[in-house]
């Protein structure tokens, strides 16, 4: 056996051991007891700034056939997009810097590889400008052509259009990967946009070298009984547990209401070879987070400008369920490697106390070094605390049809889901409820009663469902 082969086997063994550690922590109920779900309006200041408000961050190995050597990063913004919000539909903010940041050397500082997205809104164009119509998008009636293209013939009714650039930052080197790409517009309705899927396909760009990008509106992929959870865990079955048959069915919601049904988000998605993210170090595990920043100027004698971070998101719902309200805005503005300032929230999770008070079942409320180590470290011996979503690249992706929403807690465990990265299908709410509750909650199959999204996900890039259109959208109610 050559040294190279022997080294490779050792690396694989270590990766599998790490995966087993994740599974063991969850299985015995001593894992990260933090309610991890989507980040919708999680801090006072960012709730006032929806175009910079990140609802979800996904990172996973591509599970489409032939693409499994690639990693996908997705950032969703603008929570609760009502599809019928015309005449001024939802758009990205040209004043916001949207960024993915990656750590590939294990030091907790996600500045090794960064991907930046900037948007520009064009002047009102086409039919809307020609006839000074009061609509952003128009067509399909009165002899006006429908919107069937993002550019050229068929785009005349696309009155408001956005373009964007993609920049790769590697150390001190900045490379503009693409410029002038067109963002897919909001889905106005079937008369104006009779084949929205075709528009989305036109806005999915293959940039070469294994890179694909997409920016535009998508259906909100997160599913949760949001109102029930945040009405002090007022869930819709008492006790809130699922039968084994209900829990095994990832296609039906037994008793909960998906409060995000019928709503859309704006998504930025990029797929690229894993070697572009870990090429310098060959790291088997990478960490990453998504962030939004706004222009900021400080006058300090010399005066200088730049961007100031207004939100970050790695593991879902950390800010909502772990960080105290008094610190939420400050948490958003700081870097993940500064997490030691918030260590007490991880060691003494307040959410565990809430679960105990509501359900009457004792919860682990103090000295939660397991929670701190799993969410903030690559391995327990690390000294630096950094809140990153971590992805073990040695764990093969699970084919889309075989994915389990409960990941490592499924009857047949699926190790390719959260907390090993995060996929759109992962039911992080139910995982969290059970882990927070401990062994009794795991055995009872505690749940918010929502086991599936209200729209079918896609098994290929950009992986999220077609957004609801403004005319025919429908919101589920209790």
Q: Is residue 209 part of a domain?
A: yes
Cβ pair 111, 171 in contact under 8 A: no
CA 237/CA 219 separation, integer angstroms:
27
Give the pLDDT confidence of 278-319 residue by residue, as tens digits. Answer: 987 889 999 999 999 999 876 555 555 689 999 999 998 788
Tokens 């772990």, residue? 322
* pLDDT tens track, the chain, 478 positions: 444 433 343 333 333 333 333 333 333 333 333 333 456 777 778 888 999 999 999 999 999 999 999 999 999 999 999 999 999 999 999 999 999 999 999 999 999 999 999 999 999 999 989 888 889 999 999 999 999 999 999 999 999 999 999 999 998 899 999 999 999 999 999 999 999 999 999 999 999 999 999 999 999 999 999 999 889 889 999 888 999 999 999 999 999 999 999 999 999 999 999 999 998 788 999 999 999 999 987 655 555 568 999 999 999 878 887 898 899 999 999 999 999 999 999 999 887 788 788 888 788 888 888 889 989 999 999 999 999 999 999 999 999 999 999 999 999 999 999 999 999 999 988 987 777 666 777 788 989 999 999 999 999 999 999 999 999 999 988 8
Cβ pair 54, 290 in contact under 8 A: yes
Cβ pair 57, 428 in contact under 8 A: no
pLDDT at 197: 97
How much is the pTM? Answer: 0.90
Number of domains in the chain: 1
Q: Is residue 143 part of a domain?
A: no
Name the helix (H) or strand (E) containing 390. strand 389-392
Q: Is residue 367 part of a domain?
A: yes
Geometric angle at alpha carbon 260, from 430 and 245, rounded to 5°: 35
Q: Is residue 458 part of a domain?
A: no
Burial call 290-312: b when 16+ CB within 10 Å, e when fewer? bbbbbeeeeeeeeeeeebebbbb
Q: Is residue 476 part of a domain?
A: no
Residue 188's domain comprises 3-122+161-444
Give the pLDDT confidence of 97-136 residue by residue, as tens digits. Answer: 999 999 999 999 999 999 999 999 999 999 989 888 889 9
Q: Is residue 289 part of a domain?
A: yes
- Distances 195 to 81, 198, 310 between C-alpha atoms, Å: 20, 6, 36
pLDDT at 304: 58
pLDDT at 32: 32
Q: Is residue 456 part of a domain?
A: no
Q: Is residue 243 part of a domain?
A: yes
């Amino acid at each position: 056996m050559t040294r190279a082969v022997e080294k490779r086997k050792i690396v694989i063994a270590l990766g599998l051991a790490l995966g087993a550690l994740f599974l063991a922590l969850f299985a015995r109920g001593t894992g990260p007891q933090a309610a991890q779900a989507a980040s919708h309006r999680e801090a006072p200041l960012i709730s006032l700034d929806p175009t910079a408000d990140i609802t979800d961050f996904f990172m996973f190995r591509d599970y489409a056939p032939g693409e499994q050597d690639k990693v996908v990063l997705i950032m969703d913004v603008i929570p609760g997009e009502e599809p019928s919000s015309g005449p001024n539909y939802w758009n990205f903010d040209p004043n916001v810097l949207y960024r993915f940041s990656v750590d590939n050397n294990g030091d907790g500082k996600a500045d090794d590889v960064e991907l930046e997205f900037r948007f520009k809104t064009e002047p009102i164009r086409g039919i809307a400008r020609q006839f000074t119509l009061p609509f952003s998008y128009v067509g399909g009636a009165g002899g006006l052509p429908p919107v069937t293209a993002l550019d050229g013939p068929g785009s005349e009714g696309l009155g408001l259009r956005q373009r964007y650039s993609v920049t790769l930052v590697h150390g001190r080197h900045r490379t503009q990967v693409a410029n002038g790409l067109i963002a897919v517009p909001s889905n106005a309705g079937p008369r104006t946009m009779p084949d929205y899927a075709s528009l989305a396909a036109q806005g999915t760009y293959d940039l070469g070298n294994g890179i694909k990008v997409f920016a535009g509106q998508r259906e909100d992929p997160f599913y949760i009984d949001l109102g029930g959870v945040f009405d002090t865990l007022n869930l819709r079955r008492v006790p809130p547990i699922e039968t084994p048959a209900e829990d095994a069915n990832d296609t039906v919601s037994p008793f909960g209401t998906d409060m995000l049904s019928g709503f859309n988000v704006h998504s930025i998605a990029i797929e690229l070879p894993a070697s572009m993210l870990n090429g310098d170090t060959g790291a088997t595990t990478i960490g990453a987070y998504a962030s939004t920043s706004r222009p900021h100027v400080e006058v300090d004698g010399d005066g200088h400008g730049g961007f100031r971070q207004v939100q970050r998101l790695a593991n879902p719902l950390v800010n909502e369920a772990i960080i105290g309200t008094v610190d939420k805005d400050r948490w958003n503005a700081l870097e993940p490697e500064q997490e030691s300032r918030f260590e007490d929230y991880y060691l003494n999770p307040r959410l565990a106390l809430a679960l105990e008070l509501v359900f009457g079942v004792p919860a682990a409320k103090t000295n939660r070094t397991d929670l701190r180590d799993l969410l903030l470290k690559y391995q327990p011996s690390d000294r630096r605390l950094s809140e990153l979503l971590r992805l073990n690249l040695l764990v093969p992706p699970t084919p889309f049809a075989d994915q389990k929403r409960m990941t490592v807690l499924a009857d047949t465990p699926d190790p390719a889901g959260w907390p090993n990265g995060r996929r759109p299908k992962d039911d992080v709410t139910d995982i969290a409820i059970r882990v927070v509750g401990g062994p009794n909650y795991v055995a009872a199959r505690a749940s918010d009663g929502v086991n599936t999204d209200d729209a079918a996900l896609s098994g290929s890039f950009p992986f999220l469902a077609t957004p609801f259109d403004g005319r025919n959208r429908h919101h589920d109610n209790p």
